[in-house]
Amino acid sequence: MDLSPRQVVLLGLAALVPGAIYTIGTGEYIAAIALVNIVLIVGCLVLAMSDTEPPESGQSNGSPIGQ
């Protein structure tokens, strides 16, 4: 299954809906902490799935340092 970061965010938002309903219905603080955990997990997944390139090392020939 090939998911884009946008699809992961949409799934995360879908997971927030029942959590928010439960938090409002019960008023328990532990349910609010679960919402924070959902946001952290979705953020980490988006970061892990993003297409970022590592920074350039400044070497023009691409050889490791010291060679």
| Within a domain: 63 | no
Looking at 18-22, 44-48, 54-58, which range is the least confident one? 54-58
| Within a domain: 56 | no
The predicted model gives 9-37 an average pLDDT of: 90
| Within a domain: 16 | yes
| Within a domain: 22 | yes
**pLDDT confidence tier of residue 21, bands split at 50, 70 and 90:** very high
Whether the Cβ atoms of residue 49 and residue 3 lie closer than 8 Å to each other: yes
- Positive or negative CA dihedral for 53, 56, 62, 67? negative
| Within a domain: 58 | no
What is the pTM assigned to this prediction?
0.65
| Within a domain: 60 | no
- Positive or negative CA dihedral for 41, 10, 8, 21? positive
Indicate the number of domains in the chain: 1
| Within a domain: 35 | yes
CA distance 24 to 35: 11
Q: Does residue 40 surpass a pLDDT of 90?
A: yes
Q: Residue 18: which domain range?
A: 5-49
